[in-house]
Amino acid sequence: MALNSKWHQLNCEFAELYQKGEYNEAEMMVPGLIKTGERAFEAEHPELATSLNNIGELYKARGDYQKSVIFHKKALAIRERMLADDDPAIAASLNNLAVVYKDQGKLAKAQSYHRRAIDIKEKTFGPNHPLVAVSLNNLAVLLKCMGNLDEAEECCLRALKIRETALGAQHPDVASSLNNLAVLQESYGNFSEAEDLYTRALEITKQHRGPHHPEIAVAQSNLANLLKAQRKYPDAEPLLQQALQTKERVFGATSLEVAAVLITLAEVHKARADLASAEPLLVRARAIMEKKLGSNHVDLLSCLNALASIYKEQGKYDEAEKLYQKVLEITEASLPAQHPNVAAAFNNLAVLYDAQGRFSAAEPLYLRALAVVEEAHGENHPNVAASLYNLGGLYWALGNAREAVSHFERALAIREKAFGGQHVSVLSVLKSLARVHMSIGHQVEGRAYEERAEAIVVQNGYRD
């Protein structure tokens, strides 16, 4: 009994450190937590699986996905042996593994585990239980990453209906579903619908939480990101400032939550060509993240990429190159070779070389990025279109109009199929095709692409 009590005490201390983001201190507890659990319980006891699951979550937060998978698989194995096939704890383990596999870029495996979790929950609780909605939302996030926006939307809508029916239209969980649905509408380019959904989610959250609750800061950040995407920077900035103040008050000025808002706020300043304001925000965010996570954590990638982009815009190419190379080093060390973030690292370094006119250095990196996204997502994924578009620009700069047109046309076809012919992502490709055709004397073709681009500008009120 004494050992049992000691294990519960250690588990609570471990959980508290994890929740506070003190990952180094939590990891130091791992050997003692496992040893005490093994002494307190039988080797196959579900309580031991709980410890293993929590340790798996710690390593996921630290970006050590390989160790995370090891502990989560051990927890799942115990639960599958000791519990009924439809026990919710098994569904929880499946969900946790699915999230890690997604982070590793193993999207097909992640999808399989999410679907198994949904099957168990539907069998145990019924198809319209709020816990089923949680798993549907998780699956929707994954499907969006896989480029399957239609099925992702179906999952979001079903989750929203379940929550509104079971919990009421003003429940905080409904706000979560509205947020996920807004993300999808934003992906489709339906900015007006997305803004309405984000706004509704924010209003619900305000009704149920205090004025300084972190969930309000999250909702404000989500709406601000959409406004940023629409280039409504004067509207986005005050929301981010409010979110920053809330997170500093709740989590502290050196928290990871604050670092995330700093990065987004810096991106707004950069978009407004205010690099002098953006740079110190990113430097501060980087310092926070490196202190909390170490200098080689995958969560640093967005900050390092953003800071490198600032240096590139400032013409500080040496500093930018060092950061982009650091990003590539982290991704190759931490993620599978076919992970989308590896492709992004190749691409960003290539863009830097491209901007410097170092085309011979840029081309192989662009090609490697293209190979990775095709392997990860298939040949018709929107990320493939982005790589093709960059290659088209490179070949145009090299004077190879034929290759430029070929790559631009393939990028255009992918984006039209994924998003429709009037989506804003199509605009830049149409303009590039128009310019290439005009430059080689194909006036009719060039003008046709120009007219299509102008129609999108009028419809969306958007310029690339």
pLDDT value at 318 more than 90: yes
What does pLDDT average to over the chain? 90
| Residue 464: predicted pLDDT | 47
Over range 122-142, report the average pLDDT. 94
Count of beta carbons in the 10 Å neighbourhood of residue 207:
11
- Alpha helices by DSSP H, listed for 314-423, are 317-334, 340-355, 359-377, 382-397, 401-419
Output the CA–CA distances (angstroms, integers) from residue 265 to 198, 258, 304, in the order listed. Answer: 18, 11, 15
Angle, in degrees to the nearest 10, between helices 382-397 and 359-377: 160
pLDDT in tens, 259-278: 999 999 999 999 999 999 99
pLDDT of 283? 97
Kindly report, residue by residue over 188-204, the tens digit of the pLDDT.
Answer: 888 889 999 999 998 99
Intra-chain end-to-end CA distance of the chain, in Å: 66
Q: Assess contact for 117 and 155: CB atoms under 8 A.
A: no
- Residue 86, classed as helix, strand or coil, is coil
If we measure between CA atoms, which residue out of 171, 151, 149, 148 comes closest to residue 161? 171
- Residue range 324-332: mean pLDDT, rounded: 94
Closest residue by Cα to residue 230 from 259, 268, 260: 268
Cα separation of 375 and 388, whole Å? 14
pLDDT for 230 equals 84
- Take residue 48 and report the two structure tokens written for it: 């031991």
- More confident position, 146 or 363: 363
The token pair at 325 is 């190379």
Over residues 79-89, mean pLDDT: 92
Say yes or no to pLDDT of 127 above 70: yes
Q: What is the tens place of the pLDDT at every residue in 339-376?
A: 888 999 999 999 999 999 999 999 999 999 999 999 88
What's the mean pLDDT in 416-431? 89
Q: What is the CA 351 to chain-centroid distance, rounded? A: 21
Please say if the pLDDT value at position 250 is more than 80: no
Higher pLDDT, 336 or 461: 336
Chain centroid to Cα 305, Å, comes to 14
pLDDT at residue 298 is higher than 90: no
Q: With contact defined as beta carbons under 8 Å apart, do 222 and 179 qualify?
A: yes
The pLDDT of residue 295 is above 60: yes
Q: Do 182 and 222 meet the contact criterion of CB atoms below 8 Å apart?
A: yes
Give the burial class of 448: count Cβ atoms within 10 A of its Cβ; 0-12 exposed, 13-18 middle, 19 or more buried: middle
Task: Compute the residue count for the chain.
Answer: 464
DSSP 167-185: H-TT-HHHHHHHHHHHHHH
Residue type for position 167: L
Task: Please report, rounded to a whole number, the percentage of residues in the chain having pLDDT higher than 90.
Answer: 58
| Distance, CA of 68 to CA of 251 (rounded, Å) | 25
User: Does residue 279 register a pLDDT over 60?
Assistant: yes
Residues 2-31, mean pLDDT to the nearest whole number: 82
Is it the case that residue 212 has pLDDT exceeding 80?
A: no
Q: Shortest CA distance to 174 belongs to which of 222, 216, 134, 217?
A: 134
DSSP 209: S
Q: For 216-232, what is the mean pLDDT?
A: 87
Alpha-carbon gap, residue 100 to 279, rounded angstroms: 32
Whole-number Cα distances in Å, 314 to 152, 268, 276, 287, 308: 39, 16, 10, 21, 10
Note whether 106 and 75 are within 8 A (CB): no
Give the Å distances, CA to CA, from 162 to 143, 173, 310, 346.
19, 10, 44, 42
Nearest Cα residue to 67 out of 75, 78, 56, 76 = 56
pLDDT at residue 43, rounded to an integer: 66
Domains of the chain, first to last: 1-125 (1.25.40.10)
Region of 189 (left: φ > 0; alpha: ψ -120 to 50; beta: rest) is left
Nearest CA among 367, 361, 309, 313 for reference residue 343? 367
DSSP letter at 83?
S
CA angle 68, 71, 73 (to 5 degrees): 100
Q: Is the pLDDT of residue 312 over 60?
A: yes
Determine phi and psi for 68, rounding to 5 degrees: -60, -45
Q: What is the DSSP string of 363-377?
A: HHHHHHHHHHHHHHH
- What pLDDT score does 461 carry? 63
pLDDT at 1 over 70: no
